[in-house]
Structure 1
Amino acid sequence: MKKLAIKVDIDTLRGYREGVPHMLDLFEKHGIRASIFFSFGPDNSGKAIRRIFRKGFISKMMRTKAPSTYGLKTLMYGTLLPAPMIVPSAPDIFARASDEGHDCGVHAWDHVYVQDELANISKSEFLSLFERSAEMFERLSGKKPLSCAAPGWQISPVSLEVQEEAGLKYCSDTRGRSPFIPLFKGRSYLPLQIPTTLPTMDEILGLPGIDDDSIGDVWLKGMDNEWNVLTVHAEMEGLSKIGVFEKFIVKAKENGAVFYTLADYARDSAPGECNIKIGTITGRAGTLALQEDE
């Protein structure tokens, strides 16, 4: 039996308003509960243009067909157009995900800002950003958030401290192979980390000879851990690539996959400590948090 958790990251207004309803319909159709992480505040996607000088960023934008994937308006939010609020624009979508039993958590208040500037954000500022998301989460669902997932797999001692003090059950801020208690810069933190184990679609699309028909095969071949975690994005798998995503779900079931949530993994795992390092992976621009090899 192959265990697989689907982790959905929501980065933009379009992904939230258009992609998430499609994905909720898909999950209902196939009887899947997913772990879904919401960006609650402003969509400042246009400010991501600052990443243009990062190695690999332009090639990523080209292979993912960014203008059609994200929409031209999205690419102007926060620069040429005002940054719209994401969850407040249609709170019923968030409420639906929660009511349908999905494992919902916090992705960010301002996704682009946190991903790009985390190293420079003070503890008081990060706490304020997290609390704004947490307050909206509780107001709309009647529950406190018990998990979070960092934008772009970015961490800092500040973010780890705030997450620990918030009393979360788990976080998914890293890439790796199995759940673990994180050690970073000589200190251990709670809660446990449940890393993304499989490459994302935009990373796979950068590999030679890969097209829509072979993406699912790459994921299936990579499901060799006891705990497999696939991160998908509402802007891709919820919109232009939803057909590719559904074909993978069907094929995974045919190959014996059983779907779990990250909350299930957190409950059932008995993790040891492991270091986090900052590094790079194939197909992704910039650096990110990686579970260190044992």
Structure 2
Amino acid sequence: MSTLALKIDVDTWRGTREGVPRLVELLQRHRAGATFLFSLGPDHTGRAIRRVFRPGFLSKVSRTSVLEHYGLRTLLYGTVLPGPDIGRRAAATLRAVRDAGFEVGVHCWDHIRWQDHVAGLDAAWTRREMERARDRFSDIFGETPRVHGAAGWQMNDAAYALERELGFAYASDGRGSGPFQPVDANGRPFGVPQLPSTLPTLDELIGMDGLTPDNVHAHLLALTADPPAQGHVYTLHAELEGMKLLPTFERLLDGWTAQGYQLVSTGEQFARLDPFALPHCRVSMGEIPGRSGVLSLQGAAV
């Protein structure tokens, strides 16, 4: 049976508090596995206003109703309002996800800071951010995290190397076509195996080519009609599929089940792989349709 791994990025305090419990309940009803990746430090979503100067950002905002999905209060955190410390205030909620049988891992410490700055900063800055997130995860769960999934699919070479040093078993940091082992500029393997997201996200699709919350599931189901040998990874967001787009996500779950997929965590999908047989690929920063800016992309095998 082909697998489709569900990777849930939890970016904000509101998404943690409201979206995560709704997703847990829905996934349990559908007997679906999933991996929840948590932002563990302060919610500074309001600082994303700096992206207004990024090409394509205003177009994406107008298509996806950011205010409707995130709420005014969230969009003021880190500017007019202090950012809530998600990991400290929601530790019980996070542990409840693990106790419900779902895989949990690290998304980041500060989502906005990582997404907006990591690609251009050095190894020392990257280490501080990753160690903060790792340590907070360990404080909450009493164990070290096994999986890392970068905020905004933003990475640098130091971050890939640190994943192995900090004890991660695998990661899902970028976009691509299937599992791979990242290599450096000299073709040497570094970091940990990657399970990139293989499908577009709802916020990349809605508002494009007549796609709406009511019909976008049909577009995605057409993309998954022919299962790849090593399965798909679909990234969803607690702030979107866990809230206003919950009915859309439920239609996807029904559709994927009808297509014969086993809905699993990224950890379950990783456990089925032979890490030593993965293709070796470089990673680079590039653009994809429907998303502003650049992000980490799987390159050709070397």
TM-score range, shorter chain: over 0.9
1:203 paired residue number? 204
Q: What is the Cα deviation at residue 250 of structure 1?
A: 1.2
1:252 paired residue number? 256
Alignment pair present for 1:239 and 2:239: no
Instruction: Mark the runs of 5 or more structure 1 residues left unpaired by the alignment.
Output: none
Question: Distance between the aligned counterparts of 2:98 and 2:36, measured in 1?
Answer: 9
SS of the residue corresponding to residue 213 of structure 1 reads coil
Contact kept, 8 Å, 1:16 with 1:87, in 2: the verdict is no
Question: Distance between the aligned counterparts of 1:25 and 1:111, measured in 2?
Answer: 25
1:83 paired residue number? 83
State the one-letter code of the partner of 1:74.
T
Alignment pair present for 1:26 and 2:26: yes
- Cα pair distance change 1:182/1:216, threshold 3 Å: same
Match of 2:298 among 278, 287, 291: 291
Match of 1:266 among 261, 265, 270: 270
Q: What is the Cα deviation at residue 264 of structure 1?
A: 1.6
1:145 paired residue number? 145
Contact kept, 8 Å, 1:206 with 1:283, in 2: the verdict is no
Question: Distance between the aligned counterparts of 1:195 and 1:78, measured in 2?
Answer: 30
2:64 paired residue number? 64
SS of the residue corresponding to residue 292 of structure 1 reads strand
SS of the residue corresponding to residue 293 of structure 1 reads strand
Moved more, 177-186 or 2-11: 177-186
Q: What is the Cα deviation at residue 23 of structure 1?
A: 0.4
Contact kept, 8 Å, 2:144 with 2:167, in 1: the verdict is no
State the one-letter code of the partner of 2:212.
D
Match runs of 1:179-218 below 5 Å = 179-186=179-186, 187-218=188-219
Question: Distance between the aligned counterparts of 2:287 and 2:74, measured in 1?
Answer: 27
- The one-character-per-residue Cα deviations of 1:83-135 (angstroms, maximum 9, x if unpaired) are 11112112111001111121111000001001101034332232222222222
Question: Distance between the aligned counterparts of 2:5 and 2:181, measured in 1?
Answer: 19
SS of the residue corresponding to residue 193 of structure 1 reads coil
Q: What is the Cα deviation at residue 242 of structure 1?
A: 0.4
1:228 paired residue number? 232
Q: What is the Cα deviation at residue 267 of structure 1?
A: 1.6
State the one-letter code of the partner of 1:241.
L
Question: Distance between the aligned counterparts of 1:14 and 1:40, measured in 2?
Answer: 13
Instruction: Mark the runs of 5 or more structure 2 residues left unpaired by the alignment.
Output: none
Moved more, 132-141 or 189-198: 132-141
Question: Distance between the aligned counterparts of 2:49 and 2:132, measured in 1?
Answer: 25
**Aligned residue pair count:** 294
State the one-letter code of the partner of 1:290.
L
Moved more, 49-58 or 204-213: 204-213
Contact kept, 8 Å, 2:145 with 2:167, in 1: the verdict is no
Q: What is the Cα deviation at residue 167 of structure 1?
A: 2.3
SS of the residue corresponding to residue 221 of structure 2 reads helix
Contact kept, 8 Å, 1:44 with 1:83, in 2: the verdict is yes
Q: What is the Cα deviation at residue 190 of structure 1?
A: 2.5
Alignment pair present for 1:43 and 2:46: no
- Cα pair distance change 1:3/1:48, threshold 3 Å: same
Q: What is the Cα deviation at residue 49 of structure 1?
A: 0.7
SS of the residue corresponding to residue 274 of structure 1 reads strand
Contact kept, 8 Å, 1:106 with 1:149, in 2: the verdict is yes
State the one-letter code of the partner of 1:292.
G
Q: What is the Cα deviation at residue 214 of structure 1?
A: 2.0
Question: Distance between the aligned counterparts of 2:13 and 2:41, measured in 1?
Answer: 9
Contact kept, 8 Å, 1:184 with 1:277, in 2: the verdict is no
Q: What is the Cα deviation at residue 151 of structure 1?
A: 0.8
